[in-house]
Structure 1
Amino acid sequence: MEATGDTIGGIADRELDLLACAIAQSPAMDCARPARTGGIDWARFEALVDRHRVGALALAGAARIGMPADVAARLAGEEERNASNYLRSIALLRKLSDHFARAGIEWVLLKGIAVAEAAYERPALREMIDIDLMVDAVRIEEAEGIILEKGFTRIHPRFALDDAKRANFAKLHSAYSYFRRADGAQLDLHWRTSQNPYFVPQIDAHWREWSGTTVVSGFPTLRPDVHLAYVLAHGAKHGWVRLKWLADVERMVAMLDDAGVALLTATLREHGLETVAGSAFALCHTLFRSRLPEALADLTSSARAAQLHDHALELIAADLPMGGAGIGKPGYLWRRMRHSLGLVRRRGYRRRALLLEVVRSHDLEHVPLPKGWIVPMAIISPVLAVGRAISGKQ
């Protein structure tokens, strides 16, 4: 696709196109053209930078897009903040690693730091808000105890968990979230990689066999091809509504040699993620003009990959700042459900995906269901949502 008029990428949105051009690894286009022709709403551009969490990357591409000096000045502290978060996370992980080792808890580091170290010129170019750890489901409570001892408070879910609520929450979600007020550290503790257990079940079952170490810090993480498969699944589940995740994909793909491409292609086929990957690679080409290896470019050509690509573009466009999008908007919800239901064709996936779209886990606090009874929440949650909406209008 060639740049035409004021549009660079696949969405007729000058500020988003300009941002995509700024954070692309090596864009094959004239990024500064829209800025030179005038009419860029730089306040909106900054809102997009914040929404997509790419401040340091955008600043790194400032000259490429003709960013005004005042905008660049406001982004000047982004990389320093990322570096501070990164160093804090490394220090925390070293302490947690020691405690987990003493307790005999196996764990693996997901996304964030592992991607930043392996795929970016400088780790601080990637914003890292939280740390994602995964442990075996049967060791979750022990791992949580260690995390709480380090001064963290569980913020998701916020309510107390008895056995039934813990079991039901575990069926609806894949992680607990924690926050430490003393330094602002955030951490997600996973027992599986996705809320939907039918999405990437092989990774959930075999992550220990596929774990290695990160490039710099020596913490355990997934084998590169499996990790990229997980990154693709994670971004797809969220509709790629943050360009940060696509920037990760572009850079992880750029690292692959011919053997790496062949291994990744086989891994995607093994996990049934060819369509998910093809749509993501197509988005990278549309938005960033990424140069794809032939074997990966072939994955973008299927009708299903093209459909998911188009759905994701709709979600990205609908999720723009000041666009009025939100979960309460029927059109946005329908787009998201269409995208979510079409990600993979695996028995049980669509039924669970639909359940997860309508159930709100915080409702478990007020609904004392027996252990394992999550299906009734598909009726209870919408009823409670209507009640809250009516109550809010009174």
Structure 2
Amino acid sequence: MGNKYCLNIDQIPIELRLILKIIVITDDNNLVETVKEFKDINWEYFLELAMHHRIYPLLYRKLNGIDYNLIPSYVLNTLQEAFKRNTFKMLQLSGEIEHVNKVFEENQIRMLVLKGPVLSKDLYGDLSLRTCGDLDLLVSINDLEKVDNLLLMQGYIKEKNINKELNDWKWRKHHIGYIHPLKKIIIEIHWRLNPFPGTGPKFEDLWFRKRRSALSSNPLYYLGIEDLFLFLVSHGARHGWFRIRWLVDINQIVKQKIDWDFLLKLLKKYQYLPVGGQAVVLASALLDTPIKTESRILLKGNLSKKLAQAAIFYLENTVNIHTESIPKDVSDYHKRHLFSILTKRQKCLYILSFLYPYPIDVETLPLSKPFRILYFPLRPFLWAWRKTKKHSLIKM
């Protein structure tokens, strides 16, 4: 084991620092003493952060049943109600996973569960201890049309159609969402783990290394542990780790039996060594996650620590990049952060991708299929035309 990493977290709200302390403490007496140490807690903000970071199930489990008067009763009651709602939600999602899995199996479609109740069962051993907003399922890109038809037959509605005219969707995007209007369940169907310029193992390789979930008595599969680690760190980094829940997942997964040699090969092959190190540093600094000797190659140089410190911005400002209106300064920071976590090769590919035509180019200048090759040399001019037109409309 290695020493704990330290980051500058002085600007993180005191309420969040208390939450982090509560999460990592295992002894009830230490928990009471820790809460006593924190003065002038804004308990309304404490609850707001608990909900924002989707960490309230763990907080409730930690605080429930402890006999002391340090925490207002309404705080515990609010956590209890949220805990109950989440438990019912997870049970509903578990039932839906089994239903969808059965439909897919009957139609010879292989499916891997990425997160949701399966992840909660694997990492926490309890459905109720992790929150989940939707179901993320990975299928082969060759089965997408079949999956689309099956979900529509089950009453799901596609949230947004993908423009497939230029065939760029296969690599620019990585999932499509469906919602069931009656069940109020959202399913995201993935055909790759990460959007461009991120990469990842092919579906066949992931399927070969799959594990069977204990969530269901019927065959229900999810990612192998090393593939799951790669997915979790790439997902967390892409979102700036703005939810503590994702770091708690990292804290839980490193406690499992990981083949670190194979994992490091995976991270290196798919260019996720920097974000793997970022995740380890953040988990160590915020959750006292022990750094295993085998993982120390992730921490060579200063890049991992630099990326980890940059992610603290999201915790200092309680950022949610999923909201429709993000302040410009936050939006600009997030764009810079996304670029910073890319390797040199990924940055080059990202910049070059702007030369590849977008569906909006087809809307700007419709051309028949035989002439669509012209979109490549015309793209800079079409982009300039749209900018000029937009500028003219603003002036008017």
Q: Does TM, scored on the shorter chain, surpass 0.5?
A: yes
For the residue of structure 2 that corresponds to 1:77, the secondary structure is helix
- CA 32–296 in structure 1, closer or farther in 2 if over 3 Å, else same: farther
The CA distance in 2 between the partners of 1:263 and 1:351, in whole Å, is 27
Q: How far does residue 248 in structure 1 lie from its aligned partner after superposition? A: 0.7
- The residue type paired with residue 193 of structure 1 is L
- For 1:197-276, what aligned pairs fall within 5 Å after superposition? 198-203=197-202, 206-217=205-216, 218-256=219-257, 260-276=259-275
Note the residue ranges of structure 2 that are not aligned, 5 or more in a row: none
- The residue type paired with residue 230 of structure 2 is A
8 Å contact 2:237–2:341 — kept in the other structure?
yes
Q: How far does residue 99 in structure 1 lie from its aligned partner after superposition? A: 2.2
Q: How far does residue 44 in structure 1 lie from its aligned partner after superposition? A: 1.3
- The residue type paired with residue 195 of structure 1 is P
For the residue of structure 1 that corresponds to 2:252, the secondary structure is helix
Q: Which residue of 2 aligns with 1:115?
A: 119
8 Å contact 1:110–1:132 — kept in the other structure?
yes
Note the residue ranges of structure 1 that are not aligned, 5 or more in a row: none
Q: 1:114-141, CA deviations, whole angstroms, 9 ceiling, x for partnerless residues?
A: 3211110412110011110111122212
Q: Which residue of 1 aligns with 2:332?
A: 334
- CA 316–102 in structure 1, closer or farther in 2 if over 3 Å, else same: same
Q: 1:19-45, CA deviations, whole angstroms, 9 ceiling, x for partnerless residues?
A: 222333759x87854654421111112
Q: Taking structure 1 as the reference length, what is the TM-score of the superposition?
A: 0.80
- CA 295–367 in structure 1, closer or farther in 2 if over 3 Å, else same: farther
For the residue of structure 1 that corresponds to 2:165, the secondary structure is helix
The CA distance in 2 between the partners of 1:325 and 1:32, in whole Å, is 40
- CA 37–191 in structure 1, closer or farther in 2 if over 3 Å, else same: closer
- CA 263–68 in structure 1, closer or farther in 2 if over 3 Å, else same: farther
The correspondence for 2:347, drawn from 332, 347, 350, is 350
- The residue type paired with residue 299 of structure 2 is T
Q: Which residue of 2 aligns with 1:143?
A: 147
8 Å contact 1:154–1:178 — kept in the other structure?
yes
The CA distance in 1 between the partners of 2:89 and 2:364, in whole Å, is 38
For the residue of structure 2 that corresponds to 1:38, the secondary structure is coil
The CA distance in 2 between the partners of 1:117 and 1:101, in whole Å, is 22
Q: Which residue of 2 aligns with 1:44?
A: 45
Q: How far does residue 213 in structure 1 lie from its aligned partner after superposition? A: 1.5
The CA distance in 2 between the partners of 1:382 and 1:336, in whole Å, is 25
The CA distance in 2 between the partners of 1:163 and 1:239, in whole Å, is 29
- The residue type paired with residue 109 of structure 2 is I
Q: How far does residue 381 in structure 1 lie from its aligned partner after superposition? A: 12
The CA distance in 2 between the partners of 1:343 and 1:216, in whole Å, is 34
The CA distance in 2 between the partners of 1:112 and 1:341, in whole Å, is 28
Q: Which residue of 2 aligns with 1:186?
A: 186
Q: What is the aligned residue count?
A: 375
The correspondence for 1:88, drawn from 71, 87, 92, is 92
Q: Which residue of 2 aligns with 1:281?
A: 280
The CA distance in 2 between the partners of 1:377 and 1:136, in whole Å, is 37
8 Å contact 2:364–2:382 — kept in the other structure?
no
8 Å contact 1:212–1:220 — kept in the other structure?
yes
- The residue type paired with residue 312 of structure 2 is L
Alignment RMSD (CA, Å): 4.0
For the residue of structure 1 that corresponds to 2:208, the secondary structure is coil
Q: Which residue of 2 aligns with 1:101?
A: 105
Q: How far does residue 181 in structure 1 lie from its aligned partner after superposition? A: 1.9
1:307 aligned onto 2:306: yes
The CA distance in 2 between the partners of 1:14 and 1:136, in whole Å, is 45
- The residue type paired with residue 244 of structure 1 is R
